[in-house]
Amino acid sequence: MTREELLARLAALRQAQVRGRRAPHKPLLLLWLLGRFEAYATTAVGYDDAEEPVSRLINDFGPPVRSPGAARQRAAMPFVHLERDLWDLRDADGREMGPDTPERGAWLREHGAHGRLRPQVERLLAERGTLVAASRLLLDQHFTPALEGPLCEAAGLDLTTLELTVHRQLADRAVRRRQRRADFAEEVLRAYAYTCAMCGYDGRLGRHPVGLEAAHIRWHSQDGPDDLPNALALCALHHALFDLGALGLTPDRRVRVSALYVAGSTAGRAVDALAGRPLAVPRPGSAPPADTHIAWHGAQVFKEGAARRRVPGPAAPGDGA
């Protein structure tokens, strides 16, 4: 396998769409494995050790899941289904486990399931440029830029330091990104008069607006267009919370706050106070957020938090529950 072949395979991961939801399980398992590889120079790991941190990554950066039982074992799906030309999965006796293995945490633990990226993959990743390009590709294809920092931190991947040692162009050459429209941010900020559509923040430094960003409602990486119906001007804090699913939108364009969001300080609780507040209306002639994009964000990103208020049900396999 060459470096280009590895990147092509990572770009073509089969995505099991669960009821039309984005399924970033495999990219998240891979990013976590890349973080481990950077730290320990091996990706060998038992399911036992991977379940908690990988499930947490999927719960934090994947679409929400209602049942707490399913949330605890979300690592099982990518652990079983990661492509076998990349991933070697074996039981306690060293026998290969095929992709028909049940994707249940208890079953995998019971059989001592343990996996490791194939030796030829690890050999390629030992070259830092390839490790960076692989991480960058997974981030660009499946997430949104505001999540890069928190995601890398959660995955234990120090991409900033890695990239300092590797020229950025190396990664860019391998990853054919969909071009972002250059004037998109300016158009969005202007339409909202350089004001956060949720809280009204409008700070400037001298004459220049600061801490304001153009947010995609449907992520650019998930075919979200660079246009006003898919955009909001948000302050940096509310942009981050919106991309993480702590904040969302109702169909009638009001702010929703996830039931999972908690804060003790006055500043932290100010976010709760946004609940029900109508979004700022863009200036006349500019399109407001479209229903379809709001619905996408509601299904794919917003952490409803219903699980917390429900009576825990029996552990359900996979993400269907």
Helix axes 148-155, 47-61, angle to 10 degrees: 170
If one asks whether residue 79 binds Zn ion (CB under 5 A), the answer comes out as no
Among positions 201, 219, 261, 302, the unique one binding Zn ion when judged by CB under 5 A: 201
* Residue 30 to residue 296: CA distance in whole angstroms: 25
**Is residue 198 part of the contact set for Zn ion (CB under 5 A)?**
yes
Q: Note the Cα 317 to chain centre separation in Å.
A: 22
Of 132 and 301, which has the nearer Cβ to Zn ion? 301
Minimal distance in Å, beta carbon 211 to Zn ion?
Answer: 9
Residue 121 C-alpha from the chain's centroid? 23
Beta strands in the chain (DSSP E): 45-46, 87-90, 114-117, 204-205, 208-209, 212-216, 231-235, 247-249, 255-257
Instruction: State the Cα–Cα distance between residues 275 and 272, nearest whole angstrom.
Output: 6
Nearest approach, Cβ of 234 to Zn ion (angstroms)?
6
- Answer yes or no whether residue 134 interacts with Zn ion by CB under 5 A: no
Q: How far is the CB of 257 from Zn ion (least distance, A)?
A: 13
Q: Which residue in the set 10, 189, 231, 235 belongs to the binding site for Zn ion (CB under 5 A)?
A: 235
Mark the segment that binds Zn ion (CB under 5 A) among 19-27, 139-147, 202-210, 234-242: 234-242
| Closest by CA position to 43, among listed 145, 148, 157, 139 | 157
Contact with Zn ion (CB under 5 A): which of 75, 77, 196, 249? Answer: 196
- Total residues binding Zn ion (CB under 5 A): 6
Task: List 216's β-bridge partners, or say none.
Answer: 231
Q: Smallest distance, Å, CB 210 to Zn ion?
A: 13
- Where do contacts with Zn ion occur on this chain (CB under 5 A)? 196, 198-199, 201, 235, 238
